């Protein structure tokens, strides 16, 4: 044995997780201990599309770039609201819980991955995180009854609505007006100049973006929760798999 490691045959995708602060007790965990949690549906969907998923916990932001030596791509997942201080806004009264440690780690990881042109898929909070990482800002609360559709229920059960796909490549994967699941109360406000709109909902909320120069796709819905064979569930993972394979 010479100590060398063989390269996985499948592209390796790093999947970000949820960070549970030590002040919050999590199921099965010791009280008072900070925990990293990972929803398996993100991993199962990656496996179904020929990727080998590995977990990336939120640790020291200065060590974040080292993870990029181990993976061919990244998936930024859903979760808590992003601290609005990070995009220059005061907190909205309806702002949800924020976890600054996760924000700072993921922002550092995202910026390093973008600089390396590593393929990236952002999902829900992941889309918002990528927009902030690239200089954009967020609508902190989509209040139903203003001018917004009901994008989130405040429960684990999603809303469903159609979107209009305007990006040609994404339209080939999803169709023109796919139905998506919706579990969010925030959205992109000012779009980063490094991103362009790929899909919108009928009320104008940006539902998908792609990188102007980078291999990046981010969607506001949750493809990992949709069944295999659903265009809006399969399409983002197909896109990521093709980009990762091309970059190996």
- The pLDDT tens digits for 137-196 are 999 998 877 666 778 766 677 889 999 999 999 999 999 999 999 999 999 999 999 999
Cβ-proximal residues to 150 (8 Å cutoff; 6+ apart), any chain: 144, 159, 182
Percentage of the chain beyond pLDDT 90 is 80
Q: How confident is the model at residue 7 (pLDDT cuts 50, 70, 90)?
A: low
The catalytic residues are: 124, 222, 224
Q: How big is the chain by its Cα radius of gyration, in Å?
A: 17
Please say if the pLDDT value at position 15 is more than 90.
yes
> Structurally, what CATH architecture does the domain formed by 12-247 represent?
3-Layer(aba) Sandwich (3.40)
Which comes out higher in pLDDT, residue 5 or 181?
181
Mean pLDDT of 191-212: 96
Instruction: With beta carbons less than 8 A apart as the criterion, state whether 194 and 215 touch.
Output: no
Distances in whole angstroms, Cα of residue 183 to Cα of each of 41, 52, 150, 154, 205: 15, 26, 9, 8, 13
Q: How far apart are CA 244 and CA 248, in angstroms?
A: 7
What are the domain boundaries of the chain?
Answer: 12-247
pTM for the full predicted model: 0.93
Q: How many CB atoms lie within 10 A of CB 62?
A: 10
Q: How confident is the model at residue 4 (pLDDT cuts 50, 70, 90)?
A: very low
Alpha helices in 164-225 (DSSP H): 168-174
């Amino acid at each position: 044995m010479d100590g060398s490691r063989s390269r996985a045959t499948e592209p390796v995708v790093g999947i970000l997780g949820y960070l549970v602060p030590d002040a919050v007790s999590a199921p099965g965990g010791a009280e008072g201990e900070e925990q990293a949690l990972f929803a398996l549906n993100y991993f199962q969907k990656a496996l179904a599309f020929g990727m080998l998923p590995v977990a990336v916990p939120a640790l020291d932001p200065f060590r974040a770039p080292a993870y990029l030596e181990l993976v061919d791509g990244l998936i930024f997942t859903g979760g808590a609201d992003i601290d609005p201080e990070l995009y220059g806004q005061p907190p909205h009264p309806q702002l949800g819980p924020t976890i600054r440690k996760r924000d700072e780690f993921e922002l550092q990881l995202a910026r390093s991955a973008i600089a390396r042109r590593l393929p990236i898929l952002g999902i829900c909070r992941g889309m918002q995180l990528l927009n902030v990482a690239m200089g954009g800002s967020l609508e902190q609360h989509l209040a139903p009854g203003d001018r917004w559709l009901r994008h989130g229920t405040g429960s684990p059960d999603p809303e469903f609505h159609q979107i209009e796909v305007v990006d040609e490549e994404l339209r080939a994967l999803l169709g023109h007006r796919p139905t998506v699941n919706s579990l969010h109360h925030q959205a992109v406000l000012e779009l980063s100049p490094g991103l362009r709109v790929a899909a919108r909902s009928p009320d104008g909320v940006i539902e998908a973006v792609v990188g102007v120069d980078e291999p990046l796709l981010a969607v506001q819905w949750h493809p990992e929760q949709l069944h295999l064979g659903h265009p809006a569930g399969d399409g983002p993972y197909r896109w990521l798999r093709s980009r990762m394979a091309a970059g190996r």
